Amino acid sequence: MKSAMLVRAVRTPITESVHRGHMAVVNTAGKLLASAGDPGYRTFARSAAKPLQAVPVIEAGAAERYSFDGGQIALMCASHNGEPEHLQAALELLAKLGLTEAALQCGPHYPYYEPAAERMKRAGEQPTRLHNNCSGKHAGMLALALLLNASTDDYMSPAHPVQQTMLRTVSELSGVPSEDIALGTDGCGVPVFGLPLDRLAYAFASWGAPDRLSTPTAEACRKIIRAVRSHPHFIAGTDRFDTRLIEATGGRLVGKMGAEGVFAVANPERKAALAVKIEDGAQRALYPAVTEALVQLGWLTLDETEALRTFHRPPVRNFRGAIVGELVPDFALR
């Protein structure tokens, strides 16, 4: 099935570029409720998988064993901005494990939050592994390694008990057999999961409304959802869509972005979820497409849509800062 046009980049008065992609809306019964393009499009979940990867960490008892608070649990699901509070939470996570930054195997990069990155560059400061947007996820993996009495030296290996446990959890949540999940290597070095888009939506529906899951897994899902709802700043940060979506909806919707144009949103009340893939990977098209899909599904109120307006139809500006166009979501869910 072909992709659908999702977003037009308009430089007034003509459409200059078009971004195509795929969408799937699935409920906890596994039923496809709505779609655009090919709902079975196979893609890597990238960082959208982070909330799912946190499930076995919490299920193993990490929160109780190491006294993780809600912000620290949310950080394990995050592609964070590298703001001071994110770095502090990552440090505290590691300290509770009896580890230091040296245990993290994710590579350093400057903060996603431009003011923080610019301040570091002006001061001549180099980024550390804590600044990596995945440092919370890696701290969670180290916690699981300790609970499994496994080595913390090679926790990124696909054969390591941590990664095998996470693969089994993604399989359980998505309904895709482990052997049918393609494994690649993510930007931070750990395995990344490739699966059909509708199965990613099903995984998020299951995570958000985990009644079909075993009691320990369901309780872990609920604990993570509560943490992210209560600490939305820790899943992304200032001016980020993931954070603003939770804030605007009062936690009724919880979503997570992934690189190369991936996003998944759980709607626990509706026992359903949306998954989106922008075919060319363009991040600029992702949030307009997601917001418009949520509007069409009736998952956003008028006030919530207005609160997300700058993500829904973001302006295109020239180098002087003047608005010369906009990104326009242009599709109809079927």
* CA distance linking residue 332 with residue 258, whole number of Å: 23
pLDDT, mean of residues 185-196: 97
The amino acid at residue 157 is S
* CA distance linking residue 67 with residue 61, whole number of Å: 10
pLDDT, mean of residues 266-290: 98
* CA distance linking residue 328 with residue 334, whole number of Å: 19
| β-bridge mates for residue 7, sequence order | 19, 329
Q: Which residue's structure tokens are 């949103």?
A: 265
Residue 213 DSSP class? S
Q: What is the largest CA-CA distance in the chain?
A: 62
Distances (CA, A) of 267 to 56, 106, 249, 252: 21, 31, 11, 7
CATH topology of domain 4-329: Beta-lactamase (3.40.710)
First to last CA, the chain: 14
Is pLDDT of 1 > 90?
no
Backbone φ and ψ for 35, nearest 5 degrees, come out as: -160, 165
pLDDT in tens, 120-172: 999 999 999 999 999 999 999 999 999 999 999 999 999 999 999 999 999 99
What average pLDDT does the chain have?
98
Q: How confident is the model at residue 237 (pLDDT cuts 50, 70, 90)?
A: very high
* CA distance linking residue 121 with residue 111, whole number of Å: 11
pLDDT in tens, 13-38: 999 999 999 999 999 999 999 999 99
pLDDT score at 69? 98
Cβ atoms of residues 211 and 28 within 8 Å: yes
Tokens encoding 25? 């809306």
* CA distance linking residue 8 with residue 216, whole number of Å: 44
pTM for the whole structure = 0.97
CB-count burial class (<10 Å; 0-12, 13-18, 19+) for 89? buried
* CA distance linking residue 76 with residue 285, whole number of Å: 26
* CA distance linking residue 78 with residue 302, whole number of Å: 28
Beta strand 254-258 with 262-267: parallel, antiparallel or unpaired? antiparallel
* CA distance linking residue 152 with residue 79, whole number of Å: 22
pLDDT score at 285? 98
pLDDT score at 148? 98
Q: How confident is the model at residue 8 (pLDDT cuts 50, 70, 90)?
A: very high
Q: How confident is the model at residue 107 (pLDDT cuts 50, 70, 90)?
A: very high
Radius of gyration of the chain (CA): 19
* CA distance linking residue 220 with residue 55, whole number of Å: 6
